[in-house]
Amino acid sequence: MEALFDGSLTLPTVILLIGALGLALGFEFVNGFHDTANAVATVIYTHTLKPTVAVVWSGCWNFLGVLTSTGAVAFGIVALLPVELIVNVGSGAGFAMVFALLVSAIVWNLGTWYLGLPASSSHTLIGSIMGVGLMNSWMSSDRAFGEGVNWGKAQEVGMALLLSPLVGFICAALLLILARILVKNPELYAEPPKDKAPPLWIRGILMLTCTGVSFAHGSNDGQKGMGLVMLILIGIVPATYALNLDTEASVLAEIAASARTTSASFAPLAKDVPAPGQDEAVEVLSQFLRTGKALPATYAALAVKDAAIAAKVTGIKAMSEVPAEARRTLRTDIYLVSESITKLAKQPDGLPAADKKALTELRDKLKGVTSFIPVWVKVAIALALGLGTMIGWKRIVVTVGEKIGKAHLTYAQGASAELVAMATIGAADIFGLPVSTTHVLSSGVAGAMFANHSGLQKETLRNLLLAWVLTLPVCVFLGATLFAAGLMLVSKVFGLS
């Protein structure tokens, strides 16, 4: 971490860096106490654990979930951001982007927490990102409105967020019905006796589901903060964080060989387009990532950037041998090539059929060089999320435990809702999709209540639905407004353009 404050950073940049990192950790802290109810509501309302014990237990497993996460979700979130802001995150616009999306997400999360509404932190952050992208495109004279948003990735993430509540409701209801058929113990389906812990075997199941949801929540939601912290570090301290300095020599040799080969495979697709210069190639590939329209110039730019990557890594044994001042440029080249290959692979005629395997293998190797998360970043995010989980839990726990159904939460209802939440979030983590733990769990409780004929409180459901519907547009507006204001602030106060 000592590299954060080396002599190359000016005082205004250090202030912005500390502020940005503080906001990223603050977002995860708020996320922790906003989403605590997802794991602890069932064990508290079934008297399985005392509230204090439950939130500490949940916080510890949130911590462990973050530490063992894959990082796929982290970089899935980053992929939603406008490509020119990712490439130039150390600029004034990059700082304005980071501050805008974090402040808007924190404001909405705090507001819904205060009202006791279990809204989605994922929806909140993604809405803020879309707002930044829309405002960025609107303020740019050289591109169409909306061009700054990665609509393909937004659709993929949006479908995950839309379907997860339906999965929670339907699967929890079906699981409860199946349990009633297979397990005839009436104690499972009755209101728990007041101040009396459940039988040991039931308590064990509920402890397991609480642990699983806490762990899955940490492994998925914690990655959102990790992705943003890495974006900040890459932009401000590229010499240390732009590239994975621990990349093995054998991998570098493979990248050099593959990049030379694939550069040649792109040349025929460029037709008669002359090879662009390095800066022009960056603009061509950035335009392709914004629009998705592959032109001969796109392939010419890819050929140039592949050759540049091969030249820079040929003959070196470690990434640390790349001059510090050249690492940001190399990362930009690697990012543009890997993301362009990903986009081309989704198009019917995007990649040469004969070279498709080699190109996707190169992309995977390149992503390993840029998509990494240092241990200290994981620990910092894990601490913020875990500590946040241990406070501020009561408002939303009361909503989940008392206000969704008309009857008290039963053992079977709590277990069904949390088993479904645990499985859904775990699957999303594997596929790198940020889903809403809140939506899955809340809808799971509603589904279990419905299947048990316990009745649903329409007012609460209406408020939940309203919060879910409003989250995206409100955060789009907040993100866009704060981005515009942030651009003026960093320009006038800190002198960054």
Residue 4 domain-assigned? no
Residue 3 domain-assigned? no
pLDDT > 70: percent of the chain: 90
> What pLDDT is attached to residue 287?
86
Write down the pTM of the prediction: 0.80
Are 382 and 434 in the same domain? yes
> What pLDDT is attached to residue 174?
92
Are 235 and 277 in the same domain? no
Domain end residue (candidates: 343, 370, 397): 370
Domain end residue (candidates: 348, 370, 392): 370
Q: Please, are residues 147 and 162 in contact by the beta-carbon 8 Å criterion?
A: no
Number of structural domains the chain divides into: 2
Domain end residue (candidates: 312, 346, 370): 370
Are 253 and 273 in the same domain? yes
Phi, psi of 40 (to 5 degrees): -100, -15
Are 196 and 94 in the same domain? yes
Q: Which domain holds residue 431?
A: 13-239+374-492
CA distance 243 to 230: 11
Residue 120 domain-assigned? yes
Residue 497 domain-assigned? no
Could you list the beta-strand ranges (E) of 37-182: none
| Tens-digit pLDDT profile for residues 54-81 | 888 988 998 998 888 877 777 777 777 7
The candidate with the shortest Cα–Cα distance to 220, out of 445, 427, 444, 439, is 427
Contacts of 72 (CB under 8 A, 6+ apart): 223, 429, 430, 431, 432
Q: Does residue 408 sit in helix, strand or coil?
A: coil
> What pLDDT is attached to residue 494?
61
pLDDT tier at 2, thresholds 50, 70, 90 = very low
47 phi-psi bin (left φ>0, alpha ψ -120 to 50, beta other): left
| Tens-digit pLDDT profile for residues 172-224 | 999 989 988 888 888 788 778 777 778 888 888 889 888 988 888 888 778 88
CA-CA distances (angstroms) from residue 213 to 39, 45, 112, 181?
A: 5, 16, 21, 25
